[in-house]
Structure 1
């Protein structure tokens, strides 16, 4: 049994104009110690997926169908009390902006100790000892001093390390990291990602990394899942997707990496933008931006096909696979 298994997940938002689908037909699993990258542009549904797993969706969002199984328990059906025993305890989430995550009127130590006391029956002395231990794990210099400081007294990189330390407080089985390096400069980004990778490997923690950067995914994860307009369009081993992307959207993301451009020329980009949830195109949602779109792409939602080790939702890929599988007839003269 997989540690986490998501089956046919569908998330909707109730608007005045009617319900819109934010996530459609989401299926994947996460094993203990596995590292999964979730990639896509803004609006693809990556963060909504992370929030859905922990049932943190705020109204008007709601889980409309499917299952989110953690060790066989469906998180979508648990009571608030049961969820509190898992959320932040067995499954932790690291959010994009540490200044929005940390309480500005409480010291770092107060926030860490309160988190421990909420989940464990231990003394404040033991809670402080554990908190200092976690600060040392994420290489915070002078942890005793930082323990008594407020978030605004720390740098961006230091705050993000604090958030990671809080995520590790309860020794979780899964960490969901939602764009954990967005607000940081490039050198600090590399340090934070190296730190997360080291901690996950050392503690055998499963990592679900949500990002728009395929470059980061290629360095950190073993499996990758590319999302577009609320649907998974390609899913498989990271190395295979990076080296031989099948879906035109994944190819576009790869070509948009700065290192793929010719020096002195404009960077490559995917034309157009992500469609709004209220106006997702019929058929393949990517068809208005796709250079290979066919008539079937504009009318029929593509089914998943297996290409190598990857699962791909693309009519063009399905057609190529069918052509390659067709028996070749020899012409007799």
Structure 2
């Protein structure tokens, strides 16, 4: 059994005009020590999926259906008190902006000690010792001095290292990292991701990495999910998806990488933009932007307009696409005719 199993997760936001579905039928799993990437454009539902795991969705958002099982325990039905024993303890989260996460009026040491004492019955001295050890693990220079400094006295990269140290304080089984390097420059981003990968491998910690950077995903994760308009549209081993993407949206994301364009020419881009969740197109939500709705012979795939695609298996990957289903079906026909 997987450490984390998410099945048919449905998250909605109750608005005046009616409920808006932010996540639809999201399913995935995570084994102990495994690294999973979740990618997609802004508005795809990546962060909502991450926040749902710890029930951190702000009202009027709520989990409308589905299951989140962690180590055999159903999280969606836990009381707030019971959930606090999981949140921050066995499942930790690294947020995008460390300055929004750290309390500006408390020293780094005070915040780390407070976190430890909220979950363990230990003395302040013991908690401070553990905090110092974690700061050393994330390779912060002069960790003893940093414990008595305030967040504004640290650089952006050092603040993010502090956040990672706090996430590791209670030796969690899973770390959820929501675009952890967004606010950092490129060289610091590489250092932080290398550090996070090293720590996860060393301590056998599962990692869920939320990002729009396919380059980072390809280097850090073993499996990946591609999300679009609140739904998973492709999933499988990272290397296979990067090398041979099945869904047209995934192909578009990879082709949009700067290294995929001819030097001196315009960057490739997916036409159009993500649809509003309150007004999704019928059928496949991606079809208004998809160049494969029309076949090579000029005919149109009507199913793209009319039916939400089901997942089909291609190699070790799954893609929710009518074109992929059609291609797989056409490959099977000759073999069946020979039989």
TM-score by length of 1: 0.98
- Corresponding residue of 1:213: 213
- Corresponding residue of 2:81: 81
Q: How many aligned positions are there?
A: 331
Where 2:82 maps in the other structure, the secondary structure is: helix
Shift of 1:295: 1.8
Moved over 2 A (4+): 327-331
**How large is the RMSD of aligned CA atoms in angstroms?**
1.1
1:292-323 Cα distance to aligned partner (Å, 9 max, x none): 11221011100110010001100000000000
- Corresponding residue of 1:104: 104
Unaligned runs of 5+ in 2: 294-300
- Following the alignment from structure 1 to structure 2, what is the Cα–Cα distance between the partners of residues 113 and 160? 18
- Following the alignment from structure 1 to structure 2, what is the Cα–Cα distance between the partners of residues 288 and 295? 12
- Corresponding residue of 2:296: none
1:99-129 Cα distance to aligned partner (Å, 9 max, x none): 0000001110100000000000000000000
1:58-99 Cα distance to aligned partner (Å, 9 max, x none): 111000001000011110000111000000000000000000
Shift of 1:327: 2.3
- Corresponding residue of 1:285: 285
Where 1:327 maps in the other structure, the secondary structure is: helix
Within 5 Å, which residues of 2 pair with 1:120-269?
A: 120-269=120-269
- Following the alignment from structure 2 to structure 1, what is the Cα–Cα distance between the partners of residues 171 and 308? 41
- Following the alignment from structure 1 to structure 2, what is the Cα–Cα distance between the partners of residues 146 and 78? 37
- Corresponding residue of 2:29: 29
* Match status 1:297 vs 2:313: no
1:209-262 Cα distance to aligned partner (Å, 9 max, x none): 000011100000000100000000000000000000000000000001111111
* Match status 1:9 vs 2:9: yes
Where 1:159 maps in the other structure, the secondary structure is: helix
Q: Structure 1 138/330 Cα, relative in aligned 2: closer, same or farther at 3 Å?
A: closer
Q: Structure 1 247/151 Cα, relative in aligned 2: closer, same or farther at 3 Å?
A: same
Where 1:127 maps in the other structure, the secondary structure is: helix
- Following the alignment from structure 2 to structure 1, what is the Cα–Cα distance between the partners of residues 2 and 336? 44
- Following the alignment from structure 2 to structure 1, what is the Cα–Cα distance between the partners of residues 257 and 321? 22
TM-score by length of 2: 0.96
Shift of 1:15: 0.5
- Corresponding residue of 1:309: 316
- Following the alignment from structure 1 to structure 2, what is the Cα–Cα distance between the partners of residues 251 and 329? 30
Q: Structure 1 326/143 Cα, relative in aligned 2: closer, same or farther at 3 Å?
A: same
- Corresponding residue of 1:326: 333
Q: Structure 1 329/276 Cα, relative in aligned 2: closer, same or farther at 3 Å?
A: closer
Where 1:225 maps in the other structure, the secondary structure is: strand
Name the stretch that deviates more: 83-92 or 294-303.
294-303
- Following the alignment from structure 1 to structure 2, what is the Cα–Cα distance between the partners of residues 330 and 249? 33
- Following the alignment from structure 1 to structure 2, what is the Cα–Cα distance between the partners of residues 108 and 295? 58
